[in-house]
Amino acid sequence: MRKYFVVFILLILSANVFGRNNITIDDSHAKYSGFSLTQVVNGSGFGGYFEKFVGKTSRIGIEAIFIMNKGENDYPVYNYYLGQFVERNDKKRLNFLKLTGYYKKMLFTNQIANNFRPFLSAGAGPVIAFDPPNIPDFVERFKNIKVYYTYRGTFGCGVDFLYGPQTAISFYAGYEYIKFANNMDPDERKYYDENGYDSYRQKYWDSGKKNFSGMVVGINIGKKF
């Protein structure tokens, strides 16, 4: 997440340079589309967005983001027999597709003469979760994949930049609420019980989770048209 803040500082410095040009960020007829990068508590993702003005101080948009969730089993482990790091077969393979419509309220439009605008933002939309079993075989994972649905709500703040006459960059930080009806991605491990090795069962050491709410940081880079 720290890399986003480094980029944010660089954008501020760049904005001060471009602010001396005759570039306006308050074009009420402007529309923007481009790609998005997102960092959340459970992972990271990418996607695209479309945004337009609905007045000098208001914008509306839609964003589609594909999130790859991470877990403690996702990192390679050292195999002393092979003498090398190997990927775990039980790593997390839970992914989200987030579709969000949002509203942005631009702040200080009459007080700031530069080419950047702080804003407040709120949005909501559906979330689709793809939860395949944590097994190495790709075909079996695809055959047994489970799909879940819920909704997402988000709010936060950020800064929009006009990096040159046609390129828009937006930095956003906020909180998102995502909660499913069922636990997903349990950690399935096999064990022998007290009746001996002939009784072979499965036990959920980790029953999974259904609440994926938390902080979110994102950067949008788009073109004006």
pLDDT value, residue 108: 81
Which of 1, 2, 18 minimizes the C-alpha distance to 169? 18
Give 221's strand partners: 35, 169
Tokens representing residue 169 in the block: 């960059």
The answer to whether 149 and 127 are in contact (CB under 8 A) is yes
pLDDT value, residue 78: 53
- The stretches in the chain having pLDDT less than 50 are 1, 5, 9, 12-13, 15-22, 190-204
pLDDT value, residue 199: 42
DSSP-based three-state secondary structure for 41:
coil
pLDDT value, residue 204: 44
Report the C-alpha gap between 126 and 96 in whole angstroms. Answer: 10
Which spans in the chain are helix H? 2-18, 138-143
Report the C-alpha gap between 132 and 147 in whole angstroms. Answer: 8
**Whole-model pTM?**
0.72
Which of 192, 189, 183, 1 minimizes the C-alpha distance to 88? 189
pLDDT value, residue 178: 93
Neighbouring CB atoms inside 10 A of 161's CB total 23
